[in-house]
Amino acid sequence: MTFDGAVGIGLLLAGSFLGVPVAVVLGIVLLVFQAVRQVWSRRGLADVHYTRRLARDRLEWGDETSLTVSIWNRRRVPLAWLRADDAASTGVLVNERPLVLSGSGDRVLRNTWTLAPFERVVREFHVRADRRGVFELGPVSLEVGDLFAREAASEERDLIDHFLVRPRTVAAPILLDEDRWGGEDRAHAGLTEDPSRFAGVREYAPGDPIRRIHPRASARLGRPVIKRFEPSRDREVLIAVDVQTSPGPAWDVDYDAEAVETLYVTAASIARSLLGARAAVGLTATGYSGVESRFASLPVSAAPGQTERLLDLLARLSSHPSAPFERLLGTVARTVRPGTTVVVLSARDPSPFIAHLRGIQRRGAAILVVTCGPQGPADAARARAAGLTARCVQLDGPWRTAQRLAVVA
């Protein structure tokens, strides 16, 4: 029994026995109010429909997407107020409304409405994030007020939306040499073709070599047609990202978030420039990416959508290392295809893993050490001193505002 109910009964009894009608009236009023509250609370949030929809589930850093929140009171009675607290993970920003701290200390997007019978209200916000990562909206906690605007019922609905913010990319130089004839390399656009990968025929054009004429197809069609082949795809690049940005053991979870984000922006920019140059690019890193494996890995490919897959993986990567980088390089040494160029991207002194890089070289893969930390030039010099090809790249400002990536050493 509630306090008001107890008081109501007490007043009713006292007023009845002492013959004071005022007390009886007040007692009955309290009890009637209490009954109305009980009836109101019993239905709770049964006929309240809450939906949340994100227009996109993948964003580039700096982009925003629309978030549509809809509430629908399907009752025949009005609701004095209804509050929805959408839990938001750290880093989520809503343009139109600041997030508030809920009672449990979570950051929430708070919406409150007063709803007439059968009223549906749709609100639109714009959501973004302050850094790359996987962000979560939900679950939603709903609270509803009774007729007297007192909290009547609350429940948590397991309504969760995720969205992924890819790292920022800036203009970056192509770190590898231009295509050469023959060998493992290839031209930009089909200049070098792979004769083992037949891709169909086309009409003969003046200037086409006679030896490329497809005799059987030409005879069948009654006009000369020329054989076509897929361009060669033998320049493969595997970017190995060293997530650890400071010297020391890998299990030391203390990390500089800005340095890690700079590293990811650098990795994304390099990957995008290589894919733009039609190289087949893969990625491996010592970071958690939401799967059981301690190493994040994307196989080398130049297929359509590889840029998006690669940026998605970079978005999912944790900011702290999942394992020593040397262990990752050991795995790479066992699995890398000969002829592949392994771009080792690190923001720290490469000395601890130079021996592993030599092991990869012995497998027939080329190594390019790219340093990007504050001691980048010195780190690159150390790699060169060890006989490895090395570059030092730097953003021309903080990662949030930088415009390009430049080779400085």
Which contiguous run of DSSP H or E holds residue 100?
strand 100-101
Is 87 near other proteins (CB under 8 A)? no
Q: Does 36 bind other proteins (CB under 8 A)?
A: yes
Tokens 């050493």 correspond to 409
Among 2, 42, 57, 100, binds other proteins (CB under 8 A): 100
Residue 56 or residue 150: which is nearer to other proteins going by CB? 150
Nearer to other proteins, 65 or 375 (CB): 65
Please select the residue that binds other proteins; options are 78, 276, 338, 387, rule is CB under 8 A: 78
d(CA 280, CA 29): 78
43: left (phi over 0), alpha (psi -120 to 50) or beta: alpha
**Closer to other proteins at the Cβ: 28 or 406?**
28
Q: Which of 2, 38, 42, 122 binds other proteins (CB under 8 A)?
A: 122
C-alpha 398/C-alpha 402 separation (Å) is 6
Question: How far is CA 241 from each of CA 33, 127, 176, rounded to the nearest angstrom?
Answer: 66, 29, 17
- Residue 378 binds other proteins, judged by CB under 8 A: no
* Residue 80 interacting with other proteins (CB under 8 A): yes
Burial of 238 (0-12, 13-18, 19+ CB in 10 A): buried
**Residue with smaller CB distance to other proteins, 10 or 387:** 10
93 binds other proteins (CB under 8 A): no
User: Binder to other proteins among 41, 43, 81, 187 (CB under 8 A)?
Assistant: 81
Q: Are 377 and 274 in contact (CB under 8 A)?
A: no
Rounded least distance, CB 101 to other proteins, Å? 9
Q: Is 64 in the site for other proteins (CB under 8 A)?
A: no
For residues 25 and 221, which CB has a smaller minimum distance to other proteins in the complex?
25
Question: Nearest approach, Cβ of 136 to other proteins (angstroms)?
Answer: 21
Q: Which stretch binds other proteins (CB under 8 A): 74-82, 153-161, 204-212, 283-291?
A: 74-82
Q: Please report whether residue 120 would count as binding other proteins according to CB under 8 A.
A: yes
Which of residues 22 and 205 has its CB atom nearest to other proteins in the complex? 22
- Strands (DSSP E) contained in 204-266 are 225-231, 236-241
Residue 184's contacts (CB-CB under 8 Å, 6 or more residues apart) are: 234, 235, 339
**If binding is defined by CB under 8 A, does position 233 make contact with other proteins?**
no
- Alpha-carbon distance of 172 to 403, in angstroms, equals 9
Cα–Cα–Cα angle for 89, 93, 97, rounded to 5 degrees = 115
Interface with other proteins (CB under 8 A), residue from 53, 62, 118, 177: 118
CB of 16 to other proteins, least distance (A): 4
229 binds other proteins (CB under 8 A): no
Q: Which of residues 254-273 bind other proteins (CB under 8 A)?
A: none
- Our measurement of the distance from residue 372's CA atom to the centroid of its chain's CA atoms, rounded to an integer in Å, reads 23
DSSP conformational letter for 167: P
**Residue 209 identity (one-letter amino acid):** P
- Please tell me whether residue 2 binds other proteins under the rule CB under 8 A: no
Query: What track of x and - describes contact with other proteins for positions 149 through 178 (by CB under 8 A)?
Result: xx----------------------------
What angle, 0 to 180 degrees and rounded to 10, lies between the N-to-C axes of helices 306-316 and 257-276? 170
Q: Is 72 in the site for other proteins (CB under 8 A)?
A: yes
39 binds other proteins (CB under 8 A): no
Q: In the chain, what is the straight-line distance between the N-terminal and C-terminal CA atoms, in Å?
A: 77
* Burial of 81 (C-beta count, 10 Å sphere; 0-12/13-18/19+): middle
Asked if residue 22 binds other proteins (CB under 8 A), the reply is: yes
Reference 201, options 180, 220, 229, 223; nearest CA is 229
- For position 30 contacting other proteins by CB under 8 A, the verdict is yes
**Which residues here bind other proteins, judged by CB under 8 A?**
3-4, 7, 10-30, 32-33, 36, 47, 72, 74, 77-81, 83, 96-98, 100, 110-125, 145, 147-150
